[in-house]
Amino acid sequence: MQHNRKPPRIGAEPNGKYYVYYSEGRRSRKLSLWTKNLATAEARFQRWLDSHNLDTTFELDPTIERCLNLWYNQWIEGRMITADPKCNRYIAVINNLQSYFGDLRVSETKREHSKEYIRLRKTGVIGVCPAANGTIRLELQRLRACFRHMVERVEPREQRLTLDQIPYVELPPESLPRERVLDEDEVAIIREVCPDLVLTGQGRRPSNRLSRVGRFAMIALETAQRKTSILELKWDQVDLENNKIHFNPEGRTQTNKKRPTVPISPILRPVLERAKEEAHNAYVLDKPTSVHSSLTALAKSLDIPGLHPHVFRHTWATRAVARGVPLIKVALFLGDTVKTVEKNYAHLQPDYLEDVFES
């Protein structure tokens, strides 16, 4: 029986972004055009029509835009992100990559292009602001992952590229390690002040609800988890009955930056109990948006310089290793590998290298 295929078309989803809707074989497909602007969507759709062979899923030399779209739709969406579009950092990463690499075909992409991308990102020509090495490195690692996806057999007979076609992607050097560790007095101040910080803000009357930044600081200090996993944390992941927090939500695939399940410390528990009673929605922090400005203001008010999200994680690990917690337990708590923990914290163990001397 012959199946009539509808011609490709564009349309907007409920989130306002435009997509291409088309058929491959007997399957319906959609690809994001990464924009809410109709004119931009139509221009990208036309480029897609010009370059896409509608009679086959195999493209000998696709554009980087095509590769990124396939990677996102076939691998990232539904696996590596949450359902809330506000939490989807991949969109910003892909938009940055698309703006420079998008029109290039795989065969045209050279090492020099990634070097130029690094320069443009550092100067703020690409992206909303100048980026640090760590951010640029992450984005180009995502491009490498996209290329790997284009080689692997995602579906039967769907291998599109061979290894010898994959271009080399230059990465900037890793960012310098952030060595700031909160001292005993600073930890004590945060534990004393943050559980009683209440919501205030421009045009808002003081509230009895625990502030977002207070909740964030206490969770970060007591669980040592990464910023994004705390911002995205929902109440259905907080198991007060069994005294555990499951930082990896159900349905989300674990990545190299693992989100572990950790116990709730006696210091954090009353904070969570209060926050749960005051909860307005599913998010522990009310919403998954940044706390950067609030954390900066908190640091200034408490006279704790250099306070940023990673400091809490680094402080917890440093204090845990120094008091003799085995490295394997520290690694499990952080969601890191033992190798990573050994590299960064082994020298802090109480008995470090004590057995090297002659008796």
Same domain, 52 and 188: no
In a domain, 100, yes or no: yes
pLDDT at residue number 42: 82
In a domain, 1, yes or no: no
- Calpha distance 166→64 (Å, rounded): 11
Same domain, 136 and 93: yes
Crossing angle between the packed helical segments 309-322 and 212-223, to the nearest 10 degrees = 30
Which two three-digit tokens encode residue 43? 């221009």
Same domain, 20 and 85: yes
**Residue that finishes a domain, picked among 137, 165, 193:** 165
Range of 269's domain?
184-355
Same domain, 188 and 154: no
**Residue that finishes a domain, picked among 165, 196, 227:** 165
Alpha-carbon separation of residue 74 from 3, 5, 82 (angstroms): 24, 21, 15
Residue 83 in this model has a pLDDT that exceeds 50 = no
Same domain, 215 and 276: yes
pLDDT digits (tens, 9 = 90+) for 295-339: 999 999 998 988 889 999 999 999 999 999 999 999 999 999 999
- Average per-residue pLDDT in the chain? 84
Same domain, 341 and 311: yes
Same domain, 47 and 157: yes
Same domain, 143 and 261: no
In a domain, 267, yes or no: yes
pTM as predicted: 0.59
**Residue that finishes a domain, picked among 111, 135, 165:** 165
Cβ atoms 313, 334 nearer than 8 A: yes
Same domain, 190 and 217: yes
Report helix, strand or coil for 198: strand
In a domain, 131, yes or no: yes
Q: What is the DSSP letter of 251?
A: T
pLDDT digits (tens, 9 = 90+) for 86-102: 446 788 888 899 999 98
- Calpha distance 317→227 (Å, rounded): 15
Same domain, 78 and 154: yes
Among the listed residues 78, 73, 61, the one whose alpha carbon sits nearest the alpha carbon of residue 21: 73
Rg (CA), the chain: 24
In a domain, 249, yes or no: yes
Identify which has the larger pLDDT, 336 or 156: 336
Can you give the CATH number for the domain in which 326 is found?
Answer: 1.10.443.10
Count up the domains in the chain and report the number: 2
Considering only 27-41, 236-250, 261-275, which range has the smallest mean pLDDT?
Answer: 27-41
Same domain, 193 and 325: yes
In a domain, 70, yes or no: yes
Same domain, 191 and 339: yes
Residue 60 in this model has a pLDDT that exceeds 90 = no
Cβ atoms 281, 212 nearer than 8 A: no
In a domain, 188, yes or no: yes
Cβ atoms 154, 75 nearer than 8 A: yes
In a domain, 350, yes or no: yes
Query: Could you identify the residue written with the tokens 């940055």?
Result: 96
Q: What is the DSSP letter of 63?
A: B
